[in-house]
Structure 1
Amino acid sequence: MRAILQRVARARVAVAGETVGQCGPGLLILVCAMQGDSDETALRLAAKVARMRIFKDGQGKMNLAVRDVGGAALVVSQFTLAADLRGNRPGFSTAAAPTEGERLYRRFADALAAEGVPVETGIFGADMAVELVNDGPVTIWIDTQT
């Protein structure tokens, strides 16, 4: 799986002008299931995200995880993270098939919630408008296949 974590002051996702998910301080997580990913991949990624120390402690050092600071997560599916950029037009053939991609996306979100992080989501496959206020800015890219 691939994910982009953005530490945010707040984030929101809307479909057709209606808010479908949001969070206050915490993480906006853009996630893509890749071919060959499994339930185990989703569980490992969720555990890693829940434990990633990218929030400031009392001394201003990135030493706390999202759940340590009482943060939440907004998880949004984004198959374009699978982009193959060999030419001028990206290809997405390495992304998981839509049915499997949605299943693993939901598995990741559920596993992150089970790790103690409040989670809201976008709508898989929908045309979404995502708004965020990046805190830091802090943006981390994760690829479980590398």
Structure 2
Amino acid sequence: MRQGRFLLLAGAATATAAAALSYIQHVTAPERTPPLYTAQDLCGAAYRIIDQHRLAREGHTGATVSLGYDSTSKSYCAVTVSDTTAGPGDMAVSLHAEGHPADERTTRSADYAGPVFTYPRGADVSWGGTAGPTTWHSQWVAFQ
């Protein structure tokens, strides 16, 4: 009888430990799901995405900084979008038309930074972004 009671208690302890471990893993490891937004969503339907650059370091969740162009208004849009909804944390995006003030946005959002817009009127543009520990910026480019 004593041995049966011990096995019953040991089984209950094992089940409790397994449930606690499952809870800890669930709380400490957020589920990675696809991003809620795309660059197209954030810039708007009129903008065609013309260039992108991946922002990631080995072992880190990343993001993509994208540049869009609206041929009707002759304007550019830039946005940094996390790869997942549990993204890299601090993110930033910048867009600068030569001879014009830069438009920059920094956010602690896990989803995106931006969008930022410029109307360069024929000027070259420079754009870039940051996601967690990774930063990238383009050279001056003329897409028009």
TM-score band, normalised by shorter chain: under 0.3
Query: What is the TM-score with the length of structure 2 in the denominator?
Result: 0.25
Query: Larger C-alpha radius of gyration, 1 or 2?
Result: 2
**Structure ranking higher on relative contact order (CA contacts 8 Å, 6+ apart):** 1
